Structure 1
Amino acid sequence: MKLNSARGRNFSLRKGNFLPRKEVRKKATSSKSSSSNLSPRKIKGVSSVDKARFVLSSLGVSGLRSLRSGALKQIQINSPGRAFLKKNPGLMRFFLKSIPEIKIRGGVKKGAVEISAFNPRDSSSFHSFMYLLRVKRKKFIVKELSNPVFPVDAHTQFVLHKKLASINPHLRRWNSEVLEYSFAFQNKRVSYLVGEFVGGITLEKWLRQDKRNENSAVFQRFLKAEKVLKKKLGIKDVTTRNVIYSPKTDKLVFIDLMQ
């Protein structure tokens, strides 16, 4: 699928590939020696991850086994996400192990890592729970989805957003962008989509605050970006609910898009 911009540039959306489970195991074996310096013990104060059963190689997560109720079958990760996990080895293991406690007590904290329930009253049918993950100064939103979830799962959404993020240089003329998620992973029952926290409110909520906002330059920028995403790229669910608007930065960020 290609998008021809007004400036004559072509934007191409290429099909993404998952890493097969057998290939994951094969690469995990070859990378054990290079991963020995990435021990989970390096997370200050998080002793519960010492027995994590996956290794992080210099290229990211290369071995995944027996986490929580079932093996993680797939993982997708971008470059910033890879760098983040290398600095915080064992974090995914700690997150998965802490989920039951978070759902009962509302959150957990050990060392520089803090995980809490986020917007627990949200009645969305497309996710069962959301979490706010803080590691030092960085914040992430983790969306939990039961498998299978129609019409999207974490991996599908990760790959789609990665493709759409390639047109961000085009969308920036309207101070808009598509959020590129940091990583996604799943086991047999649940998948998780992780993205950097975006401050602001949904454009839908902002428009409701004042009817005059519908005639604002902000809304006009949204309509132009929406046209590109819908008509040129075939994204059907572009709505004001899928956009975070920050009055401080005057920026529009598209999230949770589905094709």
Structure 2
Amino acid sequence: MSPLVLPVALLIGLSLGALGGGGSILTVPALVYLLGQDARQATTASLVIVGLTSLIALIPHARRGNVRVGQGLVFGILGVAGSFAGAAASGLVPPAVLLTAFAALMLVVAVLMLHRTRRRATDTGHAHATGTAAPMLTWKPFTIAWPRVAKVVLTATAVGLLTGFFGVGGGFALVPALVLALSFSMPVAVGTSLLVIAVNSGTALIARAAGGVHLDWTVIAVFTGVAIVGSLLGGRIAGRVSPQHLTRAFAVLLIAVALYTAARSIPGLF
């Protein structure tokens, strides 16, 4: 096992815990280029790692009352069809095409994360100014204006599709979607997105169960354990420090990994 695996797993956990997403997208390149797994094996193993890490990562957010269980579960259930469709489509795509598309996805995510940092300071400041003590978990009704229903359904389906196809959590799309579609504050969107990621990862993994992909459970256990430690540390960071600088630095790292992935995978298209 490459010595780089442990710090990468820690970084992925930190991002999930502090930002509610984005970090899981590094799991697939790490499994492919550091551990030599093929694209299908890596995207399937990533679902296990990301799903379990997200479940643990949401605990500190739940303690601060930033996990909306009802809305999160409904959002995740709405994405089930997308998860199954994405998992089915992934098995039909050549590995080189899958990794090239993954590189493009990483570039898109990096741009979205950089864009998000411009708005986070305002959102966080508003949340701190208006926030009140909240119970550990809240089960508020899934109340949205009817004109937003289509947006919520489409977004949930799209996130599920990404999860099933690429083996990523989709938190980079979830956080802004929860802010815009459900009017969540940024801390609540980050916490709730972890629950949705866990639901999407679980359904996508079920969809892939019949695919006959061999998984290295020792690698998955080590990777997940380190990522969970990172996620708990990330949860502490989210409660004390503005994650803007972390987001920018992570976006730059994503761009670098995307370019490396593209350079390795594009030649395989021809």
TM-score range, shorter chain: under 0.3
TM-score by length of 1: 0.25
Structure with greater proportional strand content: 1
Q: Which fold has the larger relative contact order, with Cα–Cα distance below 8 Å and residues 6 or more apart in sequence? A: 2
TM-score by length of 2: 0.24
